[in-house]
């Protein structure tokens, strides 16, 4: 994670623009003095820089929830703030130079909003969940130029590595997304996708709620797959294979193909390792044979005017509200010049979203972006609106 270890934090007059980076306001954690968020925008993206002071070190870094797609934009913003405030940098892992040439050219990296607003539908789509080193994704893309490959990963170094390869190999049919694939599927149009690859997912034996394969994931896959489309799980974990098989077969109607130790066109880094150890490799391939209804999600993310006092809002810190199919947890509360900002996790239990909500002048809004339009989030939003009004 890029960061500047600084001697001492200094505030600046806001809003201010330095080297094309604009700093808007500062939100101070209301419960502890060691944390501040600096609202920043650069190249059309809004995000926070995070200041952490643990008593030993003062670090200026990026806020994980809102970090921009390009790591270069984080570097740029950190350096711009340090320059504006005249910060003394003790140590840093932020390169002073320009963009890495490959990352600069990479426009394959998209934000979730891109898919939410204009899901590409002009080509057949294949999705790879958790592409890791990207060997399989890149191989498939190079060999199938007429298919659009969407690679989803949550591990930043893997994403950067694959973006470089996309540029080097001049691939124009790969889009990359840094997001939880389970949430992503909820906004994919119905009957569009030819294949969904889930190769060597983390088995999460101790935290099963984090597994990619689940009843909901299979249901969503069936909805987004076109007739004849396939969901392809490949795993070396006997436990994960058994769990997945049970989860698939519990559906009243389903078509499955099972293979053991079948070679495929390209072997990933993980696969090479397991083969060396002579482990068995299992494929569970689900073939979708039904057309699904169009995706319909109703509702919006607007709030009523907020009549609650600041005291009431500050007291929400650490509270959890549960309802039938989800929850809201108030993780942190910040004070801004004009009001309060809350960091909440909300939505379904197994796939919550983490978000910021600003409340100023009796108006509440998500900042910097709206939640993903999923059924669970829309329901949680309704409940949040109720909480804000006591």
Ligand X SMILES: C[S@@+](CC[C@H](N)C(=O)[O-])C[C@H]1O[C@@H](n2cnc3c(N)ncnc32)[C@H](O)[C@@H]1O
Using CB under 6 A, list all residues that contact ligand X: 129-133, 152-155, 158, 180-182, 199-202, 212, 268-270
Question: Cα dist. 8→144, 304, 356 in Å?
Answer: 53, 41, 26
Crossing angle of helices 215-224 and 238-249, rounded to 10°: 60
Least spacing, CB of residue 60 vs ligand X, in Å? 26
Least spacing, CB of residue 268 vs ligand X, in Å? 3
Given the complex with ligand X, which of 3 and 199 has the nearer CB atom?
199
Least spacing, CB of residue 272 vs ligand X, in Å? 9
Pairing verdict, β 282-287 and 193-199 = unpaired
Given the complex with ligand X, which of 269 and 338 has the nearer CB atom?
269
- Name the β-bridge partners of 125: 148, 193
- Name the β-bridge partners of 234: 199, 283
Given the complex with ligand X, which of 92 and 267 has the nearer CB atom?
267
Structure token pair of residue 292: 């699904």
Least spacing, CB of residue 3 vs ligand X, in Å? 21
Structure token pair of residue 11: 């505030």
Given the complex with ligand X, which of 126 and 199 has the nearer CB atom?
199
Residue 13, C-beta contacts closer than 8 angstroms, at least 6 positions apart: none
Measured distance CA(5)–CA(60) in Å, rounded: 6
Given the complex with ligand X, which of 11 and 143 has the nearer CB atom?
143
Pairing verdict, β 58-62 and 45-53 = antiparallel
Given the complex with ligand X, which of 201 and 371 has the nearer CB atom?
201
> Around 25, how many Cα atoms within 13 Å sit in the side-chain half-sphere?
14
Least spacing, CB of residue 305 vs ligand X, in Å? 37
Least spacing, CB of residue 240 vs ligand X, in Å? 11
Nearest to 60 by CA among 18, 12, 99, 7: 7
Given the complex with ligand X, which of 6 and 181 has the nearer CB atom?
181
The answer to whether the beta carbons of residues 213 and 200 sit under 8 Å apart is no
The answer to whether the beta carbons of residues 236 and 260 sit under 8 Å apart is no
Given the complex with ligand X, which of 196 and 316 has the nearer CB atom?
196
The answer to whether the beta carbons of residues 291 and 229 sit under 8 Å apart is no
Nearest to 131 by CA among 106, 153, 161, 150: 153
User: Which H/E stretch holds residue 146?
Assistant: none
CA end-to-end distance (rounded Å), the chain: 39
DSSP string, 20-51: TEEEEEEEEESS-TTEEEEEEEETTEEEEEEE
Least spacing, CB of residue 184 vs ligand X, in Å? 8
Least spacing, CB of residue 271 vs ligand X, in Å? 6
Given the complex with ligand X, which of 81 and 128 has the nearer CB atom?
128
Question: 373: how many CB neighbours lie within 10 A of its CB?
Answer: 18
Least spacing, CB of residue 233 vs ligand X, in Å? 11
């Amino acid at each position: 994670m890029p960061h500047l270890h600084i001697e001492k934090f200094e505030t600046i007059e806001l809003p201010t623009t330095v080297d094309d980076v604009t700093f808007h306001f500062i939100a101070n954690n209301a419960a502890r003095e060691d944390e501040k968020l600096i609202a920043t925008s650069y190249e059309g993206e809004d995000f926070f820089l995070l200041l952490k002071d643990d008593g030993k070190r003062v670090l200026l870094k990026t806020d994980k929830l809102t970090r921009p797609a390009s790591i270069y934009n984080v570097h740029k913003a950190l350096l711009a703030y340090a320059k504006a405030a005249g910060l003394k940098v003790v140590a840093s892992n932020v390169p002073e130079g320009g963009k890495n040439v490959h990352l600069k050219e990479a426009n394959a990296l998209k934000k979730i909003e891109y898919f939410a607003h204009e899901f590409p539908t002009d080509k057949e789509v294949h999705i790879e969940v958790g592409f890791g080193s990207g060997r399989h994704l890149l191989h498939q893309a190079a060999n199938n130029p007429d298919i659009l490959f969407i690679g989803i990963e949550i591990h930043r170094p893997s994403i950067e590595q694959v973006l470089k390869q996309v540029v080097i190999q001049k691939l124009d049919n790969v889009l990359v997304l840094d997001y939880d694939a389970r949430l992503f599927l909820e906004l994919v149009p119905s009957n569009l996708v030819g294949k969904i690859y889930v190769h060597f997912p983390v088995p999460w034996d101790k935290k099963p709620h984090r597994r990619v394969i689940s009843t909901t994931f299979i249901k969503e896959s069936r909805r987004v797959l076109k007739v004849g489309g396939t969901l392809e799980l490949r795993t070396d974990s006997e436990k994960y294979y058994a769990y997945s098989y049970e989860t698939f077969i519990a559906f009243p109607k389903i078509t499955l193909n099972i293979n053991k130790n079948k070679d495929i066109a390209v072997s990933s880094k993980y696969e090479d390792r397991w083969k060396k150890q002579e482990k068995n490799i299992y494929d569970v391939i689900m073939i979708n044979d039904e057309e699904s209804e169009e995706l319909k999600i109703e509702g919006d993310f607007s709030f009523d005017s907020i009549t609650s006092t600041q005291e009431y809002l500050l007291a929400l810190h650490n509270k959890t509200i549960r309802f039938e199919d989800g929850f809201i947890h108030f993780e942190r509360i910040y004070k801004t010049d004009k009001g309060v900002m809350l960091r909440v996790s909300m939505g379904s239990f197994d796939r919550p979203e983490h978000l910021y909500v600003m409340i100023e002048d009796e108006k509440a809004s998500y900042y910097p972006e709206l939640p993903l339009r999923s059924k669970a989030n829309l329901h949680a939003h309704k409940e949040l609106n109720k909480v804000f009004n006591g």
